[in-house]
Amino acid sequence: MPRPGVSRAQDQINILLKFPLEQQVGSDTVAALNSTDRHVRREALRHIEAREPDYQPHGEDIVRRVCGRIGAKASSPAVASEESGVHFISVDDLDPGVGPPEGVPIYNPYTGVLSVYPESTLTAEEAVLSIQEAVANDDAVEGTEPVAIYRAIAALDPTLEAEPETAVSGIERDFRSDDALWARAALQVTTAGEMVPWGLEQIGALGAWRRGYSGQGITVAVVDTGIGPHVDIATPVRGATFVPGSTSYNDDHGHGTHVAGTIAARRGNGIGVAGIAPSARLLAVKVLARDGYSRGDSVAHGVTWAANNGARVINLSLGSPEASDSMRRAVVYARSRNVIICAAAGNDYGGPVSYPAAFDDTCLAVAATDQSNRRATFSNRGPQLDISAPGVMIRSTHLANSYRELNGTSMATPHVAGVCAIVLSQHPEMLPLALQRHLEATAMPLGAPDQYGRGLVNAERAISVAVRTASPVILPAPANADADADSAIRPGSASAGKRQRSNR
């Protein structure tokens, strides 16, 4: 039954069709991502990233047939308002400025997922059974799943919010005054008059700036509650909303704006805070509603949209205790588009790593630390952890040109996303797995891997230590050379050219 006060879109049922990516790189390669052997998983990712197929979305005829089966054999699910029961909308046909309509099936050609909705008189369980019966003998269908709901980690948990909370009206407050909260949240004032949150110094961001790298030329997607207009954040280069009923990507919660500021708040404007990668560009992708919850399959749609609209880094400060095949397909597709995904480990006080961060190693799973480089008490733990970053008393931008301190792995994750942008500004052709390995190799060890991953991310070390020659970086090659397809892609090839166009 739907949760009280929440849209029935959360009772959405996904029909999992044959994954289009498997048709490009092979089902064995995609299946290897579930191997218990980390080396096998990483080799599969390396193959997917380096291959970067010339993706040709298709499958509309199959979708129409599946819709017809549901309409004829399981008429109780509201597949569409039309009597034919074969109407659906492709995710590519959605207006990015307006949330998708509720109750109309949506097909995502990049993940092979068709999302349908039960009638209001049915429970989600009854709808799943009827849909399963309708598609049981269809060779194009792999299975069905109720949608997993993703919550913006730390956004709704009052125990994780810094106390006492200091209300800041606009930008009129003198942030250079002797303020107790600022003393805990910042270490210094820049020559321009901005405050530098303590996390930036802790991870070596200022050292990376001094060496000339601040994320220039790199686009980071904030897949969250949106990004609100803020004097300390540059206007996103573009944006989209996948929340039904919304009319823009503007943030009406505050979580996404806080994340965006940690990544790319302006530097040198003399106010507020500085972000880790202040020269990076932002994509605003709204997938979480005002209450911090997703509607239907919005997170997966947002990830594929970001991957198709120039993102090199995706920040996912959200999570769920339950795995979702639809979400897993989305992050694998994004990796095929040369996108690295940073995801929050979760705030269940040592509980298992949340999904999608737990999709090892498809996402870079981030734990939270405090100013003494100890694991934050709320931070989840597990073998899927990859790296740690500051997540306690993090000062950043908030709604209505304000600033706020928040705690959580949601706040740690954008620290890592910002460092990814910094490294990519130095090595713009680096593939995601190479970048992940490099961040792990240059991190400062802190303790047990199931609590800290490989340690605290460090931007200065990451740009000053040479990338290992064995890492899969796209390098120039002679025209007739036979380069290993799993380790390099030659500029000028069809796939390399496509990447360059997609990252503008």
C-alpha of 215 from chain center: 18
**Which of 318, 355, 343, 353 is closest to 436 using CA atoms?**
343
Helix-helix angle 38-51:432-442, to 10 degrees: 130
The residue to which tokens 């190479």 are assigned: 434
Catalytic residue among 255, 301, 427, 438: 255
Contact 67, 82 (CB under 8 A): no
Distances (CA, A) of 305 to 6, 91, 173, 410, 473: 24, 9, 38, 21, 25
**Which of 263, 396, 444, 236 is closest to 342 using CA atoms?**
263
Known active-site residue 224? yes
Known active-site residue 47? no
Q: Extract the tokens encoding 160.
A: 């994780």
The residue to which tokens 């019966």 are assigned: 133
Nearest 5°: the CA angle 320, 323, 326 is: 110
Phi and psi torsions of 123, nearest 5°: -80, 165
Q: What Rg, from alpha-carbon coordinates, does the chain have?
A: 22
Distance, CA of 431 to CA of 461 (rounded, Å): 19
* DSSP-derived secondary structure letter, 100: P
**Which amino acid does the sequence have at 62?**
I
Residue 54 burial by Cβ neighbours in a 10 Å radius (0-12, 13-18, 19+): exposed
Catalytic residue among 115, 320, 336, 410: 410
* DSSP-derived secondary structure letter, 192: T
Distance, CA of 140 to CA of 77 (rounded, Å): 20
Contact 378, 407 (CB under 8 A): yes
> Can you give the length of the chain in residues?
504
Concatenated DSSP letters for 18-37?
A: --HHHHHH-HHHHHGGG-S-
* Phi-psi label, residue 261: left if phi above 0, alpha if psi -120 to 50, beta otherwise: alpha
**Which of 37, 124, 33 is closest to 78 using CA atoms?**
124
Rounded to the nearest 10°, the torsion over CA 385, 444, 419, 359 is -10
Catalytic residue among 224, 297, 325, 386: 224
Contact 45, 335 (CB under 8 A): yes
Known active-site residue 410? yes
Enumerate the active-site residues: 224, 255, 410
